[in-house]
Homo-oligomer: A and B are copies of this chain.
Amino acid sequence: MSVDRRKLIVDAASKSFALFGYKATTMDQVAKLANVGKGTIYTFFSNKEELFDEIMNRLIQEMKLVADGEYDANRSFFDNLNRILYKILDFREKHQLAMKMAHEVRDMGTPKALEGLNKLEGAILSYIQVKIQTAIDKRELKICDPEVTAFVMFKLYLALASEWQHSHSPLEKEKITELFQLYLMRGLAEG
């Protein structure tokens, strides 16, 4: 068989969405980047949104894979959290798509980009939530609402890994995992 045209399209679209965002990525451009006729895209995806969905689902799946690959049921919640966080922070490039979506939502309000981000956020939150529930059952975490706790962990992650650098120099990933431990796990109270 000849080259896998579907993969060509998905790869080209991935790059384009991450580089230019949802709106600024045109089907003509994707076709040209993938060295494929525009009509060919529509034999695999019924519209632009479906193509975008596939890319987002891939990102989500990839992050799950990274997390699952690092997760070890025999280790403690903190240990797993630390190592997964660390691994995820290594993927700053992979974050580029999510970053671009966030930017686009912020300064253009593209609805499809917002939808994609929400889906990603939802996937991350429910992943964390399950791990939290497990840790509570194992008496590793204090009793708490897993949904609120997952939400807080995610927001803390965003604050340290992304928002902080809006007005300061970025924190090292070692620093971020360390702060995570201090603030959320051990707590600030002395003694």
Q: Which residues of A does B touch, CB under 8 Å? A: 78, 106-107, 109, 139-142, 144, 147-149, 151-152, 155-156, 159-160, 163-164, 168, 171, 179, 182-191
In the complex, the answer to whether B186 meets A189 with C-beta atoms within 8 Å is yes
Other than the known A107-B109, A152-B156, A155-B155, what 11 A-B pairs have Cβ atoms closer than 8 Å? Answer: A106-B106, A139-B190, A149-B188, A151-B159, A152-B159, A156-B156, A183-B183, A183-B184, A183-B187, A184-B187, A187-B189
In the complex, the answer to whether A155 meets B159 with C-beta atoms within 8 Å is yes
Minimum C-beta distance from A26 to chain B (A): 25
Partner of A148, one of B140, B142, B164: B164
With a cutoff of 8 Å between Cβ atoms, the chain B residues found around residue A107 in the complex are 109
Complex CA distance for A183 and B160, rounded to whole angstroms: 16
CB-based nearest B residue for A186: B187
CB-based nearest B residue for A185: B189
In the complex, the answer to whether A185 meets B182 with C-beta atoms within 8 Å is no
Partner of A155, one of B109, B156, B186, B189: B156
